[in-house]
Amino acid sequence: MRVLITGAAGFLGSHLTDRFLAEGHEVVGMDNLITGSRENLAHLQHERRFQFVFHDVSRYIQVEGPLDGVLHFASPASPIDYLELPIQTLKVGSLGTHNALGVAKAKGARFFLASTSEVYGDPQVHPQPESYWGHVNPVGPRGVYDEAKRFAEAMTMAYHRYHGVDTRIIRIFNTYGPRMRARDGRVVSNFIVQALKGEPLTVYGEGQQTRSFCYVSDLVDGIYRLFMSTHVEPTNIGNPHEFTVQQLAERVLALTGSKAPIERRPLPTDDPKVRQPDITKARTLLGWEPKVLLDEGLQRTIAYFREHLD
């Protein structure tokens, strides 16, 4: 196949590019590098089956030649990014999704939307199944990301129902691993960087809010299986094992050997209290579940940051 991956220079997009190439496909990677990095794709500079296109997908997208798939992963995805880039986040979720769907329709390609567990907001149902409609504050600071993705899902289903586009929607839960940006506001990278530098680990509130951490190779496997499946409805992909933020901080300190203290700060507005995927659908339809345990994944990620931190 020949596929277009938007956001290809990002953390997830670059790993996904690697997977499609490893499976023998051709990849056109598109990114405006607003949060992505050319370094994430540097190892592909001599790969003939990979082509990089510098472009903002919020503007009209043109790709020469046939396409079998369009995977829309372009978006700021960490709290720091979408709070600093609120308009760009809304535009890539709305205009970018519309443009990417337009390419898929024109090329007769399958469309794959990277949505997020943030569509569930601060959930009142736990764990979160795909049937849950969410509890989102549309005018809060996080609404720029939450509502952009909710709109993207609605637009994707509209193209499926009205235009007959073959679509897939993944709802991604917290993911971590090599190629995350240092200090990108995500809790795993924040804690690891702080621990390695001997800085206080910043825990918001009492640290009892929960998250479920999926290692990137597991997530990419779920993405690939979903893309190759026939399932149109949204599908959760994430690790169902739940940890408090305090527990994560303690694991990072233990695995890095850091003596850094834990520093408490006020809980951000609309910060979800719980986050855990119900992955019954992924297990049943895709035969997928995560394999990498938290300590193993953290060790790999710590090794990456040891090598890449200044």
- In the 8-state DSSP scheme, what is residue 118? G
Q: What angle do CA 240, 242, 246 make, to 5 degrees?
A: 155
Tell the burial category of 150 from Cβ atoms under 10 Å away from its Cβ (0-12, 13-18, 19+).
Answer: buried
Torsion-angle region of residue 108: left (phi > 0), alpha (psi -120 to 50) or beta? Answer: left
Torsion-angle region of residue 198: left (phi > 0), alpha (psi -120 to 50) or beta? Answer: left
Q: How many CB atoms lie within 10 A of CB 113?
A: 26
- Measured CA to CA, the distance from residue 208 to residue 218 in angstroms comes to 26
Q: Which residues contact 46 (CB under 8 A, 6 or more apart)?
A: none
Q: Which residues contact 49 (CB under 8 A, 6 or more apart)?
A: 21, 25, 26, 27
Of 80, 99, 79, nearest to 32 (Cα)?
Answer: 99
DSSP letters, 221-234, are HHHHHHHHS---S-
Q: Which residues of 31-41 are buried (b: 16+ CB within 10 A; e: fewer)?
A: bbebbbeeebb
Residue at token pair 């798939």: 69
The residues carrying an active-site annotation are 145
